Amino acid sequence: MKKTRNLLLLMGILALAAVSTSCGESGKASSGTTAAAAASDQGGSEAQGKTEKAGEEKSSEVKTMSGADLQALEDDKDKKETALVIDVRSPEEYAEGHVKFAVNMPLDTLKDRLGELEPWKDKTLILYCNSGKKSGEAAKLLAENGFKDVRNADGVKQYDYKLVKYGNITGEELMKKKDEADLIVDVREAKDYEKDHFDKAVNVSVDKLSDLDSLLPENKDALILTHCYSGNRSQKAAEYIADKGYTNVWNTLDGTKEMEYSFH
């Protein structure tokens, strides 16, 4: 009887040990599963964070633009105010003939001039060259630097644009060039000219551009700047002067309606 009790006691101890071991292993597995799940969740969060960050830094898509659409925009005095057109060819190619309201920013200098385009970060920028190759590179550069609406237009060898030979500058460039100019042509109304104007400025009506004939310098390479309210009247004056053989004529795209000038 004593042996039987001892045997039963031993069997109970062994059974209890087995249960204890089983519970320990089960607890360990549960802990491991929880840790793995936590690691998975953390990894998932990190991956999601990286995806969101990549989404934030993703470049905007460069759009294409036909030559016909660009020419139509240039011919519309109101629509041309909604975009900045950039000729990324060399200064020599630009001088030989360019789209009417385009400014010149050669591809090899564009990266260093991005700050000048900051006001256009959320507006439309249209680029072109001869074939679309250089302007495509320039458009990609702008898109990668956060410019939202960048368009690559047909080049001058792909579309028969109405090309002009005077240059275009921004209002800031006018302020830098005004002191070295040989002549500034103010095409605003006489009443506004009389209120205030730049030194070296003469006033002419857009309807009487022939009045300029007696005011133009003899030197065909003289620096001549034109400006008005929005760049439209002054564009006509610049074209009139360039057609007379003057080679250093610059129209100001930013008029007094768009920029507050300090005339002195």
Q: How far apart are CA 106 and CA 111, in angstroms?
A: 10
Q: How far apart are CA 256 and CA 144, in angstroms?
A: 33
How far, in Å, are 58, 69, 82, 105, 138 from residue 79 at the CA level? 29, 11, 5, 22, 23
SS3 content of the chain, % helix, strand, coil (to 5): 50, 15, 35
Exactly one of 62, 70, 126, 129 is catalytic; name it.
129
Let me know the angle formed at the C-alpha of 247 by 241 and 249, rounded to the nearest 5 degrees: 55
Q: How far apart are CA 194 and CA 175, in angstroms?
A: 19
Q: Can 228 be counted among the known catalytic residues? A: no
Q: What are the φ/ψ torsions at residue 91 (nearest 5 degrees)? A: -55, -35
Contact 168, 250 (CB under 8 A): yes
Alpha helices in the chain (DSSP H): 2-57, 67-75, 91-96, 107-110, 133-144, 171-177, 190-195, 232-242
The helix/strand/coil state of 198 is coil
Q: How far apart are CA 223 and CA 237, in angstroms?
A: 14
Q: What is the DSSP letter of 122?
A: T
Contact 88, 134 (CB under 8 A): yes
Q: Residues with catalytic annotation?
A: 129
